[in-house]
Amino acid sequence: MNAFWIILTGSLVATCCSLLGCYLILRRMAMVGDAISHAVLPGIVIAFLFTGSRDSIPMIIGAGLLGVLTTFLIEFFHRYARVQADASIGITFTWLFAIGIILISVFAGQVDLDQDCVLYGEIAYVPLDLWLTDSGLSFGPRTIWTLGFVTLLIIGFILVGYKELFLTAFDPGYAAVIGISTTLWYYLLMTAVSLTTVASFESVGAILVVAFLVGPPATAYLLTDNFKTMLVLSVAIGVVAAIVGYYLAYWLDGSIAGAIATITGLQFGLAFLFSPLHGLLFKNKKAIPV
């Protein structure tokens, strides 16, 4: 049963991250998830200082607010400082992460708050955190309910705003001409990314979140030129990575998150070589004169 809960957790994270990752790749902002996962550290520390509690809810609220602030600063620096998007991402997350480290070091002697425990979860521990009623009835791991709710939110968000998200990602100029607010949909997308990142990394770890945000969408991008197909393919690729990665880790007796992230890399490598549309080997064949 533990294997089922771990694979289900990985699949839910893969679904959320892969769907949003498709839009991030098209916007050339694939590493924003990594930025958010590091930049939220000050929010976690500040939430503790205000509440005096290390419960998940205040931590998630604090991290979520810093995640939104991170996306705002990235866009602010990109637009008004006129630096490239990747540079604004790097500046923002290193600065906020450094502030978090300073806060940790200042209060480390007074409180038991370790950045590794806060930032990097372990998916193998998911079955241990059960939702139990006062009568002892178990509803399964808390993480499943949290991620299940977030997954439904992300799917609903994409279904409702598909046209706007599609146009602002592919042709923001045209979207602005027909009356779609590119700024509004940018921040809505980044808020969804922040929510997903914060809800996921506490359980599965920041590395696995970034792997799902980038790996499956990049692989799907090589396999199709149809965006709807890319969305579906990226989810399927992410779920397969979660399943195969778990059993690889079981066979090797190693890190589950590391094994899943490794599988996403292997999937991309296979698509890079053998994709009928954009594969390296197929391109070489097409280049040979007949």
Question: Could you report the per-residue pLDDT of 170-185, keeping only the tens digit for each?
Answer: 888 888 888 888 888 8
C-alpha span between 27 and 21 (Å, rounded)? 10
Residue given tokens 């698509």 in the structure block: 271
Candidate ranges 59-73, 93-107, 228-242; pick with highest mean pLDDT: 228-242
Beta bridge partners of residue 141, listed in sequence order: 130
* Mean pLDDT, rounded, for 143-150: 87
With bands split at pLDDT 50, 70 and 90, how would you rate the model's confidence at 18? very high
Helix (H, G, I), strand (E, B) or coil at 205: coil
Helix (H, G, I), strand (E, B) or coil at 278: coil
Q: What is the pLDDT of residue 220?
A: 93
Q: What is the pLDDT of residue 14?
A: 93
Q: Which of 214, 181, 149, 229 is nearest to 14 (CA)?
A: 214
214 pLDDT more than 80: yes
With bands split at pLDDT 50, 70 and 90, how would you rate the model's confidence at 285? low
C-alpha span between 63 and 194 (Å, rounded)? 9
Q: How high does pLDDT run on average in the chain?
A: 81
With bands split at pLDDT 50, 70 and 90, how would you rate the model's confidence at 95? confident
* Mean pLDDT, rounded, for 22-30: 85
1 pLDDT more than 90: no
Q: What is the pLDDT of residue 287?
A: 45
Buried residues in 52-63 as b, exposed as e (16+ CB within 10 A): eeeebebbbbbb
The DSSP element (H or E) to which 131 belongs, if any, is strand 130-132
19 pLDDT more than 90: yes
Candidate ranges 58-72, 223-237, 247-261; pick with highest mean pLDDT: 223-237
118 pLDDT more than 70: no
Query: Is the pTM higher than 0.95?
Result: no
The residue extents of the domains of the chain are 2-287
Q: What is the pLDDT of residue 290?
A: 38
* Mean pLDDT, rounded, for 236-246: 94
User: Where do the H-state alpha helices sit in 81-226?
Assistant: 85-107, 115-119, 142-160, 162-170, 172-177, 182-204, 206-223
265 pLDDT more than 90: yes
* Mean pLDDT, rounded, for 193-218: 83
C-alpha span between 200 and 207 (Å, rounded)? 11
Q: What is the pLDDT of residue 69?
A: 84
Q: What is the pLDDT of residue 103?
A: 78
Q: Which of 201, 199, 197, 208 is nearest to 36 (CA)?
A: 197
Q: Which of 101, 95, 2 is nearest to 45 (CA)?
A: 101
- What CATH fold (topology level) applies to the domain 2-287? ABC transporter involved in vitamin B12 uptake, BtuC (1.10.3470)
Neighbours of 183 (CB within 10 A): 12
257 pLDDT more than 50: yes
Cβ(215)–Cβ(241) below 8 Å: yes
Q: Which of 196, 195, 152, 189 is nearest to 167 (CA)?
A: 189
The one-character DSSP state at 27 is T
123-125-131 Cα angle (round to 5): 110
Cβ(213)–Cβ(33) below 8 Å: yes
Query: Worst-scoring range by mean pLDDT, 63-72, 225-234, 274-283?
Result: 274-283
Q: What is the pLDDT of residue 29?
A: 80
